[in-house]
Structure 1
Amino acid sequence: MTKLYSREPFGRFALKSAAMSSIATLALTMAASAVLAQSVPALPDVEGPVSADETDMQHPSRRGPTLGQETPQEWPAYGEPAFHDYVEDEFFISGQANGEPYTTRIVFRRPADIDDFSGYASIETLHPAQSAQMWMATRIGGMMNGHAYIEVVNTPGLVGSLQAYNAERYADLAIEGAVTEEGQADPAQNEIIAQVAYLMQTASPLGAEWNVEHMVISGASATSRTAMNFMEQENGNSAYRMDDGSSLIDAMYVWDTNGPSQDALDTIYDVPVIILATQTEWDDGTRTFPADSEDYRLYQVAGMPHLESREMYEAGWNECTLPIDNFMFNAMVFMGMDYMYNWLTEGQGPPMADRIEFEGDAENATIVLDEHGNAAGGMRSPQVDVAWETFSTPNEGNFVCGLMGTAIALPDDQIAQMYPTTADYAEQLVAQTNRLIDEGWFPAEYIFEIGKEIERFASRDSTAN
């Protein structure tokens, strides 16, 4: 069998006339006024790290059987922070947002040893499902590379989720300046994000050596919209600057979304942006997307559903009427993070991927399918390139099922012709995985998923998907 690719886990005009001079002076004056309208965020007060034990549990920020209210579903040992010598520090922070006081919590997930810290941090808000989505999806690859994760609670509803989990521990948390009327923008949300981003770049509560060098705002689904709101709204990122005048946020990477509009990209964003769109997103009838540019990449992942199921099923998944997909979800999300890290540290944009192929540009135009029934084009994965299943979305059943995917095995005779034995399948899968890694389309950190996929293929006759 071909040996799997491996790599080390840590890597890392001239004005010539008086008239033109006058115009330039006016422009500079206007620019200076714009800068004066921006401000350095306030630094919140910090308490912590706040200790926790079995009698005073810290909210785990994981989706569990009931979206976090009961004991969270266990992860495999290699997915746990302790396996990678990682620490999950919880802090309570206090300040003013929208003119009123707030006290909330942040979690800083980071290597125990400062020498292992890459300087890169993903900042995200707690998802309504009581989960830190980017942390959960990319943690294995992220921890292998020494990246940090910052989780922010910035709405009263999320404060309520913490208090439902541990009323005594989180009793003093409150966001008094929040706007809760439906359809109204809440200025407090963005102010809290800005203050946390500034804190963790300039005055980390763990000490200056833990100040973040590359701050990337992240999110998935609902929190991808929170991140885009922060980047696009008047009281968001554009309202703030670092002390040296640079952008508060260095980049944005979000997924489970089709991302910003072309107009927003052209007029608002001034930092690198990566969007990872699953098949659920571009299966909604949208057929036109912003073009890749110097500071923007869109990756549409063929076969990938909105919700992950390979590692952690959602509450209610057992009510889905079609087989669950088992897509290599987390590997593809981490791929986007790896692209962004290299973009920020090396200054060279990641590769541009083909877009998903449609029969035309009309709304609801049919998706072109490959010979195995999977979407043609887009970002590929080992599972769709060496396929024994057809991946599609949505699944059927309840609301959660509508966000999940399904995978239907190809006919037995077709599988037997393509892969006479498990060894034949394994050889093809490993070879294609190596090619994808060499070409920069699959993260080497997730080669363990290939072994699991071979096992799944071998047991397909006796085990449901």
Structure 2
Amino acid sequence: MTVEKITAVVRVSTPTVVPLPVTDDSQSVILEPYHVDLLPEYGYASMEYLISGEAYGEPYCTRLLLRCPDDASRFTGFVVMEPSHLCGGTSIWRHTSRWLMRNGHAWLEVDSQATSAVGKIKNVDPERYKGIRFIPGPISDEFAANIPFIRDATKEVLSEAYTDYKAKWWPATLQSPEILTAASHALRSGALGLVAQRVFLSGLSQTGGVTRRFITHSSHLRLPNGSPPFEGFLPCQSGGEALPDVPGAKIIELVGEAEFQSVRFPCGIGGQMRGTAHRRPDSDTFRLYETRDADVYPSPGANIDTIGESDDILRDEYGNAVGGVRTVHSDAPLATFVAATPKGRPNLYWGSQWAFSPEKMQVIYKRVENYRLIAGRAIQKQIQQGFLLPVDAEVLRRETIEAVHF
């Protein structure tokens, strides 16, 4: 289905962009230091800017953090834009940085949410970021302190508490959609030292929600020249109703275990997104989605198994979900993974991981060599299915499998 006309098309105002140089006395605040040390190895530069203008009828100024090839001739024209998390952090960079840098793509952090821009950036270095301003509202620490947790609560009670909690996000970030659109203009106009041809908006968890909400509530926003701001959207692990189509843009959603209760049933196959429809069935249990003019078939999806017709996930002897897209972490497990924190401070905001003891590892695998053999087979299977690139498999082997001892 196509997104309905929410309101008249709105062109955002042309933003002002100024560089924010790094000096011995003034350094960038980095929310996600993961793989920043690899920038020189890949020939990448990190540059910071302040972007300002008007959004939601009020002035704003916030930070942009760009990572791109230091040799402009290597830039492909493709940019992944990521809003920083409500409480700080950029998980998409964490998961895609090596792939981006190997291929000459760029990544842009946009601190479009007032909560983290003020709470995690401006408040950390008030002098460097004195220009940052938004409509006044709560900051990240206030949200973090109020994450719902209820001891011995049913999943329905905890889910309702989270629904109420998440409803408070959007009134605190009213200017975010227009800022994201303005940042896309900055990328395309050359204001950041490069000229983007394609910009994808992506986020994970709370910022996956930001991406979804842009699709459902802000698809009427346009660049100053009237063009759509994004060629694609990639919301990850945020959950919700099946997303509508956005004309001229691709939408790919990555759904994880945490969103499982919100994505069941509706097309008659457990695990499918609510409200989705299929062009044609290939069989009772299999759907192949084709990409027009593509010479590569998409990787086959897989549903997480449930207990009967319930939404309760079927778990194996180690407590991990059965079914779904399998990885080395599920087929050669080193821990129990659950997309919630059921002990200590029970909540749905953080996942939890319980590493196996050396004694348990010996019971499961007998010897380290057996573990590495099983893990190697799991990685090879994932490569064959198209869910893992060989170059990433080598990193996984070196940094995870070879590091295991018991």
TM interval, short-chain normalised: 0.7 to 0.9
Structure of higher CA gyration radius: 1
**Cα deviations by residue, 1:158-215 (Å, 9 ceiling, x for unpaired):** 33222211111111221259899956485522111111112212x12244xx222221
Aligned partner letter, 1:220: L
CA distance in 2, matches of 1:228, 1:54: 39
By how many angstroms is 1:39 displaced? 4.5
In the TM superposition, 1:11-160 aligns within 5 A as 37-48=8-19, 50-62=20-32, 75=34, 80-160=38-118
Alpha-carbon spacing, 1:349–1:53, altered in 2? closer, same or farther (3 Å): farther
By how many angstroms is 1:408 displaced? 4.9
C-alpha RMSD over aligned residues? 3.7
**Cα deviations by residue, 1:280-302 (Å, 9 ceiling, x for unpaired):** 332x576444177789xxxxxxx
Alpha-carbon spacing, 1:427–1:128, altered in 2? closer, same or farther (3 Å): same
**Cα deviations by residue, 1:23-60 (Å, 9 ceiling, x for unpaired):** xxxxxxxxxxx899425433211111x21134112111
- Is residue 215 of structure 1 aligned with residue 202 of structure 2? no
In the TM superposition, 1:345-384 aligns within 5 A as 350-362=298-310, 365-370=311-316, 373-384=319-330
**Cα deviations by residue, 1:64-104 (Å, 9 ceiling, x for unpaired):** xxxxxxxx6xx578x53223221111111221222332222
Alpha-carbon spacing, 1:389–1:124, altered in 2? closer, same or farther (3 Å): closer
CA distance in 1, matches of 2:135, 2:390: 46
- Is residue 240 of structure 1 aligned with residue 222 of structure 2? yes
By how many angstroms is 1:147 displaced? 2.1
Aligned partner letter, 2:12: P
What SS does the aligned partner of 1:275 have? coil
Retained in 2: the 8 A contact 1:178–1:189?
no
**Cα deviations by residue, 1:294-349 (Å, 9 ceiling, x for unpaired):** 89xxxxxxxxxxxxxxxxxxxxxxxxxxxxxxxxxxxxxxxxxxxxxxx8996967
Aligned partner letter, 1:256: Q
Aligned partner letter, 2:212: M
By how many angstroms is 1:224 displaced? 1.4
Alpha-carbon spacing, 1:143–1:265, altered in 2? closer, same or farther (3 Å): same
In the other structure, the counterpart of 1:308 is none
- Is residue 204 of structure 1 aligned with residue 160 of structure 2? no
What SS does the aligned partner of 1:175 have? coil
Instruction: Give TM-score, length-normalised by structure 1.
Output: 0.65
What SS does the aligned partner of 2:315 have? coil
Alpha-carbon spacing, 1:370–1:377, altered in 2? closer, same or farther (3 Å): same
CA distance in 2, matches of 1:439, 1:44: 44
Instruction: Give TM-score, length-normalised by structure 2.
Output: 0.74
CA distance in 2, matches of 1:158, 1:402: 17
In the other structure, the counterpart of 2:273 is 290
Alpha-carbon spacing, 1:192–1:345, altered in 2? closer, same or farther (3 Å): farther
By how many angstroms is 1:217 displaced? 0.7
In the other structure, the counterpart of 1:427 is 373
By how many angstroms is 1:356 displaced? 0.5
In the other structure, the counterpart of 1:386 is 332
In the other structure, the counterpart of 1:405 is 352
Retained in 2: the 8 A contact 1:179–1:186?
no
- Is residue 273 of structure 1 aligned with residue 251 of structure 2? yes
Retained in 1: the 8 A contact 2:338–2:351?
no
Retained in 1: the 8 A contact 2:81–2:201?
yes
Stretches of structure 1 lacking an aligned partner (at least 5 in a row): 1-33, 63-71, 296-342, 461-465
**Cα deviations by residue, 1:374-405 (Å, 9 ceiling, x for unpaired):** 31211110121233544334342236896132
By how many angstroms is 1:110 displaced? 0.9
What SS does the aligned partner of 1:253 have? strand
The number of residues matched between the two structures is 353
In the other structure, the counterpart of 1:302 is none
Retained in 1: the 8 A contact 2:66–2:107?
yes
Retained in 1: the 8 A contact 2:44–2:67?
yes
CA distance in 1, matches of 2:135, 2:357: 55
Alpha-carbon spacing, 1:178–1:412, altered in 2? closer, same or farther (3 Å): closer
Q: Which moved more, 1:439-448 or 1:369-378?
A: 369-378
Aligned partner letter, 1:60: I
What SS does the aligned partner of 1:215 have? strand
Alpha-carbon spacing, 1:175–1:420, altered in 2? closer, same or farther (3 Å): closer
Quote the sequence identity (%).
21
In the other structure, the counterpart of 1:191 is 178
Retained in 2: the 8 A contact 1:372–1:410?
no
**Cα deviations by residue, 1:92-123 (Å, 9 ceiling, x for unpaired):** 12212223322222111111112332322111
CA distance in 1, matches of 2:178, 2:325: 36
